[in-house]
């Protein structure tokens, strides 16, 4: 029911991963239920089936890039919309059963992406340890808790959940790495505009020519709409056929974004709306500040122009 | 009163010029009154004052270019709108009092633009004749009728009006030369769209940079609006400050032209609407055929896109 | 002979007009001969025939716009190039034979453009006087000197030449009005770049579509070349067929302007080069300051990029 | 040594995968040595170290998209260039030890991407079988050969190598799926142009704004260079900072592509050249035909324009 916050959440499991940690930053999730799912597809299908109200899944990582499976689900499955984004610093810890010490660590369980992101730290601090690939950060923590491995690379929440001691924290080579998660729900009216919103789209273009992509960008540029992200994914039909995932500044309720969306709808082979939601300002960096509408492109400017056109059509020029 | 055809016409005089000839092609002018004015400014002021309903004045000539005084009046005087265009072939004749012959012609009266356009013919056929500059084609015919000159270069209607004999016709060096006239009225609802219309604008841009003009053209191009004419005129403030006169394909009532107009209104320092009116198809040439709306830019496409946006905003994605 | 300054000048006559006044600002003209011509066409033909080295003719006026006859000569006659521009304030004076007073002025001789530009002053100060149209400002001064009219509107130099007294100066309604003149010579190497140059072009586009003009502007914009002027003139073939006169920032010897010119040569139906010459900085206004090359577009940037490409083609990537 | 074909090849192993199969389509590889590498990074490092002459690694898959690890190596490691592309249909087979039958298959080993791409076939034909994730298609075949699993999903070459019988072929849900591989070498002169070439680039843009990406596309569009592929990858610095991988039509030796590259070099924060090489025409589809240079953009047109500019600069206009 619109207006009622979702109460049943699912997230990409298992327990004790960054996805769970990200979900815990959503106030409503603290009051609701939180169930892990085995895959992004399963998490989204649970929402599609009405068995949960919202799913939290990863969209992209500042190191590893887009999460392809999430994008593919967004583009092709039954429609879902993003209602919130959560950006979480990727702060890996090395965790072990209490009482251990780094010097005794001979085996480290880690998801391959995690060990890749901590490669420098491992080389410097545990050059002799064997790294064992496991399927998730949560599984790494669970394995260490059960004594299968001497230690695990995991999220802080993984150490907490599995009662592990943190031997070292912030061990990732890129200290600024973040993961961006999306909270996805069945279609419904978007959250109200805040003045600093993001609108996500999946756009299909008819041809693989520079002209077609130029047309898409011009529809945005003419309305002063900026892109904060563009990702291409193959459509699966043939090489050179892509769907583009765009994150635009603004909200579907904004006049200029509405006009740009209509323009894309006319010139593209297909456009799927993936939601308008508040930007998550997780950093004070200058480049993250909201960008005001360029001159002539505010809702007021649009209203002025529309009123002028109405007068013209009625023959009133002064 | 809207719906009632204008009945009192003025035109750029004197009598017996191409402007009168052009006005006679307008059916309503045959039933109404037709008065010459001494200048473009006077003709337009008579309409502004309500003493006439419409004025016929020249806009441009395919040889001599834009008629600057008309453009300046359109840009700066009290607003008037073009409700009809008339394109008239410029067919000069050499006319003299009956009984004369080309061999006896020693002096030819002509407006300087007329003698310029007939320079080749004069050199070949009347190499010995003296050309005397006069202020209009009508004055040339009148002078010949009064015996001041042996002959006149004038419009066919000038010969008729002054009872002159045509010694030679179609004497212009450019046989395809045409003049385009505008019928101008006080502001009121434009004539209904015909599917093959022109919209005229005067556009001020803030700076003399290529970027500003590019922005104007992009507002049109994104909506598939073509330009059939672009003229620049100085604004009188400084060198490098221009007003651009644009003739666009389409009617102010068309959705895509309306959106383009609103875009210009937002990005330009000023836009003056100068009327939407049926294109005068005076020639069957291919390049003159109406151009259908490009794919995605018809009124139906706009309506589809608008309906889609409405659904998005309401949260209905399927 | 290249390197030797021209010594035989012609200018648009008669004597005592702004054109002569403009020519007197050219140092070499003070040492050379200066002959008036009866028309722009005659002045240019004298240079084409080798009977003079350079002709000074008006290009445009900040009030009246482009001088069509000059543009047409530039576009269609045997090639000439602009080697210098002269911008001259249009400061009209009311001049009369010595001993007269404004109160006695009943008739004023003036070129129609001159009386138009002084309309406000005449209405305020000589409301009863009759304005008589004459063919040039010089003719007005000559007529007043011979007693045909009580006074003349003319250039300061006209009063001097005809020994008239100045009854009132700066009588133009637009005190900032200027006229821009071009000094034109037979083709030869352009004057060396100064860092603040203008390049003039006549550009023919194949079609009257917005896309064709957009292409021209994009060739310039991509190389960071600005337009300081764009004028359209009909080609005389048909309505809607234009030649565009462009004034661009930069010199034909500049790399980026050279690349832009080559781009225009490839995409346009025709391009005529009309000269590269120093900008005449006649005013200290901010908007007139030279604009440095945008980031990445200086000659040094071009040289860097060219060297990089040469390395790539040779297979040296580092 | 330039001109001598590489003789020592590495490929992404293990043996029996599509990468080996792709390498076998390269004639020189039949005559040279072929060694598997454990990862893309290892394969490329072997070439960088001079221990092999060329490495064959996957670039993208029409279902799964770009191979991120390959792109990251191309963008950031010591420079390597693509000298050849190989496009290979992804034709999965179900293979088992000889004598088995589909009805007896209870466990199927597969790389997760392989089982995903055959999901429909598995559901229809082996609904009861358990799918076991393994690390490569080659490992799946090896496991089946050793009796660990009843069957494997693998490449045809995997069945051959491990002496397995093919129980079913072409079992992928997308029968047109292909993988595109790149043969990479240390920098050196590119292979000569064939008239149907691809040039690959990694492009860094300073800002995440639509304007910056528009600039990149305009540099290409103005020179008539088409994109056949655009992929974004995070740079690892921050969300919203991307490197774009572009595949352009044309060869670095082509004039217009050279000019476009120089333009990108000037306007982008960085450009890395990744090679010019013949397009692999693996399909007769219309959209794959070579696109001739647009009007005005052939090497001849460029030479004409350059000669014209040279004349202009020398002062010869006719």
Which stretches of chain B are DSSP H helices? 18-23, 27-31, 40-48, 68-76, 112-117, 119-125, 137-145, 156-161, 210-222, 255-267, 299-314
C171-222 pLDDT, tens per residue? 998 887 888 999 999 999 999 999 889 999 999 886 655 677 888 888 888 8
> Cβ–Cβ of C266/D313 closer than 8 Å?
no
Percent helix, percent strand, percent coil in chain B, to nearest 5: 35, 30, 40
Task: Tell if the CB–CB gap between C312 and D222 is shorter than 8 Å.
Answer: no
The model's pTM is: 0.79
Of C71-75, C282-286, D141-145, the range with the highest mean pLDDT is: D141-145
Q: In angstroms, rounded to a whole number, what is the distance separating the alpha carbons of residues A211 and A204?
A: 14
Peptide bond into D14 cis (omega under 30): yes
- CATH 3.40.50.720 describes domain A1-89+178-188: no
Q: What is the pLDDT of residues A258-284, one digit of tens each?
A: 989 998 988 888 899 999 999 987 665
Q: Do domains B1-90+178-189 and B93-169 have the same CATH topology?
A: yes
CATH topology of domain D1-90+177-188: D-Maltodextrin-Binding Protein; domain 2 (3.40.190)
CATH code of B1-90+178-189, in short, is: 3.40.190.10
C93-169 is a CATH 2.40.30.10 domain: no
The β-bridge partners of D199 are D248, D276
Cα(D317)–Cα(D312) distance, integer angstroms = 6
Taking CB atoms and an 8 Å limit, are B267 and A296 in contact across chains? yes
Buried b (16+ CB within 10 A) or exposed e, C134-164: bebbbbbbbbbbeeebbbbbbbbbbbbbbeb
Q: How far is C49 from chain B (nearest CA, A)?
A: 21
C1-89+178-189 under CATH 3.30.70.260, yes or no? no
Does the pLDDT value for residue D189 go beyond 50? yes
DSSP structure class, residue A14: S
* CB neighbour burial string for C72-95, b if at least 16 within 10 angstroms, e if fewer: bbbbeeeebbbbbbbbbbbbbbbb
| Helix residue spans in chain D (DSSP H) | 18-23, 27-31, 40-48, 68-76, 112-117, 119-125, 137-145, 156-161, 210-222, 255-267, 299-314
How many CB atoms are located within 10 Å of the residue C100 CB?
16
User: How many CB atoms lie under 10 A from the CB of residue C290?
Assistant: 11
**Residue D167, pLDDT score:** 95
Please indicate whether, in this complex, the C-beta atoms of C309 and D266 are within 8 angstroms of each other.
Answer: no
Q: Report the pLDDT value the prediction gives residue C112, as an integer from 0 to 100.
A: 77
The structure tokens 């055929």 sit at B289
Which sign does the torsion angle of CA D2, D3, D4, D6 carry? positive
Chain B CB contacts of A192 under 8 Å are none
Query: Which residues touch B163 (CB under 8 Å, ≥6 apart)?
Result: B98, B145
Segment D286-310 mean pLDDT = 73
By CA distance, what is B217's nearest residue in A? A222
Contact criterion met (CB below 8 Å) for A96 and A106: no
Tens of pLDDT along C116-157?
889 889 999 999 999 988 878 888 999 999 999 999 999 999
DSSP per-residue codes, D228-284: EEEEEEE-SSSTT-EEEEEEEES-TTSHHHHHHHHHHHHHSSEEEEEEEEE------
User: Which chains form contacts with chain B, at 3 or more CB pairs under 8 Å?
Assistant: A, C
**ipTM reported for the complex surpasses 0.85:** no
Q: Which residue of A236, A237, A246 to mutate against D (max D Cβ within 10 Å)? A: A236
Q: Helices marked H in D77-111 — which ranges?
A: none
Q: Is the peptide bond before C14 cis (omega within 30 degrees of 0)?
A: yes
pLDDT confidence band for B285 (50 / 70 / 90): low
Q: Cβ contact (<8 Å) for B217 and C217?
A: yes
Which phi and psi angles does D72 have, rounded to 5°?
-65, -40
Using CA atoms, how far apart are residues C306 and C248, in angstroms rounded to an integer? Answer: 23
Distance of alpha carbon C45 from alpha carbon C43, whole angstroms:
6
pLDDT over 70 (residue D70): yes
| Contact by Cβ (8 Å): A25, A18 | no
Q: Among A208, A228, A234, whose Cβ lies nearest the Cβ of D62?
A: A234
Percentage of residues of chain B with pLDDT beyond 70: 91
CA angle B222, B226, B229 (to 5 degrees): 135
Touch between chain B and chain A: 3 or more Cβ pairs under 8 Å: yes
- Give the angle D142-D145-D149 at the CA atoms, nearest 5°: 90
Q: Which residues in chain B touch residue A312, judged by CB atoms under 8 angstroms apart?
A: 252, 261, 273
Q: Which of A81, A188, A297 sits opposite B266 (nearest CB)?
A: A297
Q: Helix D68-76 to helix D40-48 angle, to the nearest 10 degrees?
A: 30
Nearest to C270 by CA among C55, C85, C79, C84: C79
The predicted-structure confidence for C238-272, as pLDDT tens digits, reads as follows 666 778 899 998 999 988 899 899 989 888 888 99
- Cis bond before residue A14 (omega within 30° of 0): yes
- Tell me if the domain spanning D190-318 has CATH number 3.30.70.260: yes
Tokens of A83: 């209602």
Residue A96 sits at φ, ψ, to 5 deg, of -150, 165
Q: What backbone phi and psi angles, to 5 degrees, belong to A304?
A: -60, -45
Q: Chain D interface residues facing chain A, Cβ-Cβ under 8 Å?
A: 60-65, 68, 87, 174, 176-178, 180, 207-211, 213-214, 217-218, 220-221, 225-234, 236-240, 242, 285, 287
Alpha carbon D76 to chain centroid, angstroms: 17
What is the predicted pLDDT for the residue at B227? 82
Interface size A-D, in CB pairs within 8 Å, comes to 115
Does residue B271 contact residue B264 with C-beta atoms inside 8 Å?
A: yes
Q: What is the pLDDT of residues B147-204, one digit of tens each?
A: 999 999 999 999 999 999 999 999 998 887 888 999 999 999 999 999 889 999 999 8
Q: What are the b/e assignments for B282-315, b being 16+ CB within 10 Å?
A: beeeeebeeeebeebbbeebbeebeebbeebbeb
| For residue A62, pLDDT beyond 60 | yes
* Binary contact (D309, C79; C-beta < 8 A): no
Q: B169 to chain A, minimum CA–CA distance in Å? A: 43
d(CA C132, CA A42): 92
Q: Where are the domains of chain D?
A: 1-90+177-188, 93-169, 190-318
Are the C-beta atoms of residues A244 and D244 closer than 8 Å to each other?
A: no
Q: Quick check: bond before B14 cis, omega within 30?
A: yes
Mean pLDDT of D119-123: 90
| Cβ contact D240:D205 at 8 Å | no
How many other CB atoms sit within 10 Å of the CB of residue C4? 8
CA angle D202, D205, D209 (to 5 degrees): 135
Task: Report the C-alpha dihedral over residues B236, B237, B239, B245, rounded to 10 degrees.
Answer: -50
| Exposed / middle / buried, residue B105 (Cβ in 10 Å: 0-12, 13-18, 19+) | buried
- What digits encode the pLDDT tens for the residues B48-101? 999 999 999 999 887 777 788 898 888 888 999 999 999 998 899 999 999 878
Instruction: Fill in the DSSP letter of residue A188.
Output: -
Give the per-residue pLDDT at C286.
Answer: 42
Instruction: Give the lowest-confidence range in A213-222, D58-67, D89-98.
Output: D58-67
Q: Which residues of A touch D64 (CB under 8 A)?
A: 68, 234
* Interatomic CA distance for residues B280 and B87, integer angstroms: 7
CA distances from A85 to A63, A176, A273, A299 (A): 18, 18, 15, 25
CA atoms within 13 A on the CB side of C38: 0
Q: What is the pLDDT of residues B8-55, one digit of tens each?
A: 999 998 888 889 999 999 999 988 999 999 888 899 999 999 999 999
- Spatial strand order of the sheet with C197-204 comes to C227-234, C242-249, C197-204, C270-278
Closest C-alpha among A44, A32, A30 to residue A7: A32
Q: How far is CA A200 from CA A80, B81, B192, in A?
A: 12, 44, 40
Going by C-alpha positions, the residue among D188, D183, D185 that lies closest to residue D47 is D185
Distances (CA, A) of C126 to C107, C138, C143: 9, 21, 19
DSSP symbols for C167-234? EEE---SSTT-EEEEEEEESS-PPPPP-SSEEEEEEEE-SSSSHHHHHHHHHHHHHTTPPEEEEEEEE
């Amino acid at each position: 029911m619109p207006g009622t916050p979702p109460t049943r959440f699912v997230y990409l499991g298992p327990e004790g991963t960054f996805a769970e940690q990200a979900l815990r930053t959503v106030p409503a999730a603290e009051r609701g239920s939180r169930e892990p799912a085995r895959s992004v597809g399963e998490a989204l299908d649970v929402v599609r089936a009405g068995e949960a109200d919202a799913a939290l899944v990863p969209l992209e990582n500042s190191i590893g890039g887009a999460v392809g499976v999430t994008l593919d689900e967004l583009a092709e499955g039954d429609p879902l919309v993003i209602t919130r984004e959560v950006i979480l610093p990727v702060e890996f810890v090395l965790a072990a059963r209490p009482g251990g010490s780094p010097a005794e660590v001979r085996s480290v369980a880690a998801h391959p992406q995690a060990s890749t992101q901590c490669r420098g730290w491992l080389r410097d601090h545990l050059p002799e340890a064997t790294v064992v690939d496991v399927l998730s950060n949560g599984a790494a923590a669970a394995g260490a808790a059960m004594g299968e491995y001497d230690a695990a690379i995991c999220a802080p929440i993984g150490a907490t959940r599995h009662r592990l001691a943190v031997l070292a924290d912030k061990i990732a080579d890129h200290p600024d790495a973040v993961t961006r998660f999306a909270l996805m729900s069945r279609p419904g009216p978007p959250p109200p505009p805040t003045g600093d919103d993001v609108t996500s789209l999946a756009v299909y273009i008819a041809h693989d020519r520079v002209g077609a992509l130029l047309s898409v960008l011009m529809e945005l540029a003419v309305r002063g709409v900026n892109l904060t992200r563009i990702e291409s994914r193959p459509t699966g039909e043939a090489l050179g056929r892509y769907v583009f995932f765009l994150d635009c500044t603004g909200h579907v309720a904004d006049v200029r974004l509405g006009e740009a969306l209509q323009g894309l709808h006319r010139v593209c082979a297909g456009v799927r709306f993936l939601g308008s939601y508040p930007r998550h300002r997780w950093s004070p960096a200058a480049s993250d500040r909201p960008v005001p509408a360029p001159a002539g492109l505010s809702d007021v400017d649009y209203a002025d122009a529309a009123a002028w056109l109405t007068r013209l059509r009625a023959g009133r020029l002064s």
